[in-house]
Structure 1
Amino acid sequence: MTAIIQLEHVCKTFAGKKAVNNVSFSIHPGEIVAILGPNGAGKTTTLNMLLGLLKPTQGTLRLFGLEPGSTEVRKRIGAMLQEVSVMDRLKVSELIQLIRSYYPNPLAVDELLTITGLSREDQNRFAEKLSGGQKRSLGFALALAGNPDLLFFDEPTVGLDISARRRFWEQAGKLAEQGKTIVFTTHYLQEADDFAKRILLFDKGELIADGTPDEIKSRILKPSVSFFSPLAEDELGAKLASLPMVEEWYFRDGRTFVSTGDTDAALIALIREGFPLHQIRIDSGRLDDAFEQLTHQEEKTR
């Protein structure tokens, strides 16, 4: 399958400092990819190069086999950036119609309203008078206006409440089911864990991990059994040390976490040994834990 996005040894330098350093990856049609990393990791610079807003200092970058920023590429992409800026004194309906007019096969207005949750009343309001959440919905509508094959979302749910955030991802999921390719950044790691099929993890300008959320978590995180127990931590730790399948343990917010390669065997052993425990939970590891450990590992190896 031909890659829809292709980066080969891409670097971007500002004032002698590499914001992106020797990054290579490809993304194929229909993928849902999260670009993650701490502040200053290079993810926004990479996104701006993909959008044609910046040019690489070194390396090659292609979308649909073409230069980012070319007219043919722009016809096939849509972008929702973190800061939604709108033209003053244009109504929502006028702004949507304006953006639709730039594309050869735009989405129908009714479909845009259904997907983004903008109401008929919203259409008649001046865009600059919208609330923060409504502006995010408008940004979503403008990104979709041209019926793009490839969508870029930069921190798309910042400032949205829980219900609006859930609605956004439900609609984005439906777009993915239609075959759209989606690339997004987010600081809400649970969103990446729930929605992305693949994660590109950046740190210090380099790509340090590439895989599914489960692959990235399993790379460094062991599954765990967690529970509450009335035993003191010292006593509980001494008992856990005697169990061969227990690799390590730690305490967080009153809950005991036991890392193990076999959660079934560990749980059976805990019960057989008569450990007083309740509210038992099996965890496969959290993406934020993997994120933290991977970025810290990279710091230690530099």
Structure 2
Amino acid sequence: MTSSTPIPAAIDARGVVKSFGSVHAVRGVDLTVRPGEIVAFLGPNGAGKTTTIDMILGLTNPDAGSIEVFGHTARGAVARGLVSAVLQSGGLLKDLTVRETVELTASLFAEKRPVDEALERAGIRNLARRKVGLCSGGEQQRLRFAMALVSDPALLILDEPTTGMDVEARRSFWSAIRADAARGRTVMFATHYLDEADEYADRIVLMRGGQIVADGSTTEIKNLVSGRVVQATLPDADLTALAALPGVDSVEANGERVSVRTRDSDALARHLLSTTTARDLEITAQNLESVFLTLTAEPSASGLALNGSLR
């Protein structure tokens, strides 16, 4: 009778706590990421995302709890080349060329990808001879991606990876990420571009106030918030009166266009069409942005329980 060794989780964080003086950055985070997943790690500024990522990368240690990466300590996994990161800034010498920068990174690892392959995967092989200081912000982000790929990591962590990229560059970048994930690489990324999370993530983990408040697929996350969004053109709208209607959660106006989040879209639509001059009325399901805003609002504002986790 044979027994197989179970594959360890890419990330296994249990009861992780981290404070900086009186600031409680991370408050008891439990998070398991399976090998091969693409996970979007979302939350407003100050939610604890960056601190959590720093601990997964071994840049800082938790005050309590534990983090394992592929069965190793965070620093042990990084030392073995199992983890690489694409961060927002830093780590680049402006007088080196793009190729020299990736070659320097490659020299740190016993096992590595060919430099040309990493440059090609990052879409910057044509920039190999350019000085880093002459590269745009988006090109420098792609360079960081090439630097992360050269060790052929099992886990790739991306912190705002497409900052400074135009729409075409962002699309090309994510195409490369998807191709890598298809080969079995685990990807965890933090972004303020919610459309990226919606389109590219297998799973979304949402933090607020140092805790995970939601965890599931994009569809599951959207289903955590009930109701729909009703939009209409309504000149001189009485926003206060609209906000006071039964079932209405919030009202926003952009010029003559009004957007109302409501738990009873049918009743609101009847009201708008029968008692106001509203026209061009549209009813849509909650999108990821509206769900994000609701789930990351202060509890007193959102009226939601803190733990909205699906897992």
CA contact (8 A) 1:103 1:146 kept: yes
How many percent identity over aligned positions? 37
CA contact (8 A) 1:152 1:182 kept: yes
Q: Could you tell me which of 140, 149, 156 is aligned with 1:144?
A: 149
Counterpart for residue 4 of structure 1? 10
Counterpart for residue 181 of structure 1? 186
CA contact (8 A) 1:66 1:73 kept: no
Q: Could you tell me which of 6, 14, 24 is aligned with 2:20?
A: 14
CA contact (8 A) 2:233 2:258 kept: yes
Counterpart for residue 70 of structure 2? 64
Aligned length: 293
Give the TM-score, by structure 2 length. Answer: 0.80
Counterpart for residue 113 of structure 1? 119
- Measure the CA separation in 2 of the matches of 1:27 and 1:73: 20
1:41 and 2:42 are equivalent in the alignment: no
- Measure the CA separation in 2 of the matches of 1:20 and 1:145: 31
Q: Could you tell me which of 55, 66, 73 is aligned with 2:61?
A: 55
Counterpart for residue 284 of structure 1? 285
CA contact (8 A) 1:260 1:266 kept: no
1:99: Cα distance to partner? Answer: 1.6
1:81: Cα distance to partner? Answer: 0.6
In structure 1, runs of 5+ residues without a counterpart are none
In structure 2, the CA distance between the partners of 1:261 and 1:10, relative to structure 1 (3 Å rule), is same
CA contact (8 A) 2:226 2:263 kept: no
- Measure the CA separation in 1 of the matches of 2:50 and 2:167: 24
- SS of equivalent to 2:206: strand
Q: Tell which deviates more after alignment, 58-67 or 128-137.
A: 128-137
CA contact (8 A) 2:230 2:269 kept: no
Q: Tell which deviates more after alignment, 182-191 or 220-229.
A: 220-229
CA contact (8 A) 1:3 1:64 kept: yes
CA contact (8 A) 1:29 1:181 kept: yes
- SS of equivalent to 2:297: helix
In structure 2, the CA distance between the partners of 1:262 and 1:74, relative to structure 1 (3 Å rule), is farther
In structure 2, the CA distance between the partners of 1:71 and 1:187, relative to structure 1 (3 Å rule), is closer
Q: Tell which deviates more after alignment, 85-94 or 190-199.
A: 85-94
CA contact (8 A) 1:64 1:73 kept: no
Q: Tell which deviates more after alignment, 35-44 or 123-132.
A: 123-132
- Measure the CA separation in 2 of the matches of 1:266 and 1:258: 12
Give the TM-score, by structure 1 length. Answer: 0.82
Taking only aligned residues, the RMSD between alpha carbons, in angstroms, comes to: 3.3
